[in-house]
Amino acid sequence: MRWLVIVPLALLLAGCGSAPPPAPVDPTTEAWYGETVQRLAGLNRDAEQALASRHSDAAAAAVVSGQELEKRLLSVRQPTLAATEAVTDLDRLYGRMLFANRHYGWARIMFQKNLARWKYWRPESPESARRLQQAKDDIAECDKYLP
């Protein structure tokens, strides 16, 4: 007789458990992420063109607006290769602008961020090796002007 009460009660309590948590969604697969990468790449192109045309104010405005996009892209656990390249291009452009204005220490910091990004990038590729060497060269150039 006890079993008739205990078994249904146990089954009822077992069914009251919470559902397993939903699997985490990879933000890099969401639409906003790809759109943000494309927007940052476009800003980088615009800033490069403005700088080449000696419109440094327009280039600076593009860099400033790109920094918010950069933060958003880097907020995910593992940014994509395209996002890392776009972020690197923005930081390198900003570093070059700082270098041109003789702010060598600040420029070096921007280049150092790129060095860290590519030094630990996996999987290694010829492009990641090229970008790593580019960051090293940029830092060496800054070091020539620092005490």
| Residue 1, in any domain of the structure | no
Q: Is residue 23 part of a domain?
A: no
For the chain, the domain total comes to 1
Question: For the chain, what is the mean pLDDT?
Answer: 91
Give the pLDDT band (50/70/90) at residue 36.
very high
Give me the residue label for tokens 């994509």: 80
107-116 long-range contacts, CB within 8 A, separation 24+: 107/138, 107/142, 108/139, 108/142, 108/143, 108/146, 111/135, 111/138, 111/139, 111/142, 112/139, 114/88, 114/138, 115/139
| Residue 11 domain flag | no
The string of pLDDT tens digits covering residues 97-112 is 999 999 999 999 999 9
Q: What is the pTM of this model?
A: 0.83
| Residue 75 dihedral angles phi and psi, to the nearest 5° | -75, -15
Asked whether the predicted pLDDT for residue 82 surpasses 80, the reply is yes
- Does 4 reside within a domain? no
The answer to whether residue 26 sits within a structural domain is no
Domain contains 21:
no
From 25, 127, 35, 120, select the one nearest 76 (Cα to Cα): 25
Domain that holds residue 83: 34-143
Structural domain contains residue 22:
no
